[in-house]
Amino acid sequence: MLRFATHDASVVTVEFDTGTKARFHAIWLRDNALDSETRSPGNGQRLITIGDIPSDISVSAAEVSNGELTVTFQPEGKTVTFPSDWLAEHSYDRDRSLPTGRTAPGITTWERGIDAPSADWNTVHANPAAKRGWLAAVAEYGFAKLTGGPTEPESLLKVADLFGYVRQTNYGPYFEVRTEVNPTNLAYTGLGLQAHTDNPYRDPVPTLQILYCLENSAEGGDSIVVDGFRAAEKLREQNSEGFALLAGYPARFEYKGSDGVCLRSRRPMIELSPDGELIGIRFNNRSSAPFVDVPFDQMEAYYAAYRQLGEIIDDPAMGVSFKLEPGESFIVDNTRVLHARLGYSGAGSRWLQGCYADKDGLLSTLAAMEMTQPEAAE
């Protein structure tokens, strides 16, 4: 709750009853006014542009009454009110000394030994709290299994329907992951695949992948997932300069394995937000193109860091492995969690279907569920 406010022309300072103080600029308060002329009451969207705010905006009065802050702006002569909780939630006057390479709040990094988050097909379809828990696991851990599903082809599309939409690519709405003659992609062979993120040659990359098992009686073919954020954290702990190189220079990725397709990107292996938060990993030996954006004097150190990140990713202590049964699937956050598979051969067959979807849709569905069902999910 607000206790009182003081102001000068350009800044309002409020004190909460916890003793915490927070400063807000006149321009910021005016831009974020909550009145119906500034924000549409129906959809919450802003009705004004930055140019609609006078450049000489100032505060002529600021006072607290009934726990709310009332501010009058000049030269408009406009008075607006801000609830105490809203100000507390949106305060930006805080210590900014955040470490580079940190993960966002709500993300838990992991190594081998954690129980793979998992939910049951029928339960997530019938029980919103279970669905919410499954989506929350993808948000927190970057992957989750779904078991007990149907074994019909295209069932994976129903997984995407639970939270969003399939993202179509040149591989179609979904793709068959099984051994093919003349494969257009090494995924369509029995070869083992090093842990990787998919399609780093796209910009933006597909942010979620669903891999759905229809048959898996072959020897081998186990799935392995590795937390790329944990790998990046380890690299930063072991070799902070190498971490900075992989984050600081673009790599290059390319795919031109089928007719009419030539996908290229120029993006870093470790992607940070402008203020240093870890936001993405791209790691894929099959589709790395020659790196030409690293200065000559740094190239050997860049490669040493790339090798070191690869060793961390390949370390068996990092991966969570499981063998999918028919009707089982898993979803990975393709901006964070790498997936691998052991090679397979011999009698029996292995048939997975894969598709892409987008994380913003999953996070939107989760956030909307959290707003309407505030109780904790089981």
**One-character DSSP codes across 332-345:** EETTTEEEEE--EE
Instruction: Report the distance separating Cα 165 and Cα 185, nearest Å.
Output: 24
Give the separation between CA 64 and CA 53, rounded to whole angstroms: 24
Pick between residue 46 and residue 256 the one whose CB is nearest to Fe ion. Answer: 256
Query: Which one, 198 or 333, has the nearer CB to Fe ion?
Result: 198
Closer residue to Fe ion in complex, CB, 198/358? 198
Q: How many residues bind Fe ion (CB under 5 A)?
A: 1
H-state helical runs in 83-176: 84-89, 121-126, 128-141, 155-161
| Alpha carbons 192 and 228: distance in angstroms, whole number | 19
Least Å distance, CB 171 to Fe ion, is 11
Q: Which is nearer to Fe ion, 198 or 328 (CB)?
A: 198
Is residue 333 at the binding interface for Fe ion, with CB under 5 A as the rule? no
Report how far residue 309's alpha carbon sits from residue 236's, in angstroms, rounded to the nearest whole number.
10
User: Which span sits near Fe ion by CB under 5 A: 106-114, 124-132, 197-205, 228-236?
Assistant: 197-205
> Cβ closer to Fe ion: 235 or 337?
337
Q: How far is the CB of 236 from Fe ion (least distance, A)?
A: 25
Distant-in-sequence, close-in-space partners of 38: CB < 8 Å, separation ≥ 6: 46, 47, 48, 80
| Given 29, 198, 210, 306, the residue binding Fe ion (CB under 5 A) | 198
Q: Where does this chain touch Fe ion (CB under 5 A) — which range of 12-20, 62-70, 195-203, 345-353?
A: 195-203
Least Å distance, CB 293 to Fe ion, is 25
Reference 101, options 352, 302, 270, 306; nearest CA is: 270
User: Which range of residues in 78-86, 87-95, 193-201, 288-296 is near Fe ion by CB under 5 A?
Assistant: 193-201
For residue 140, the minimal CB distance to Fe ion (Å) is 22
From the list 247, 224, 233, 208, the residue with the least C-alpha distance to 364 is 208
Do residues 203 and 335 touch, judged by C-beta distance below 8 A?
no
User: Among residues 266 and 286, whose Cβ is nearest to Fe ion?
Assistant: 286
Contacts with Fe ion by CB under 5 A lie at: 198
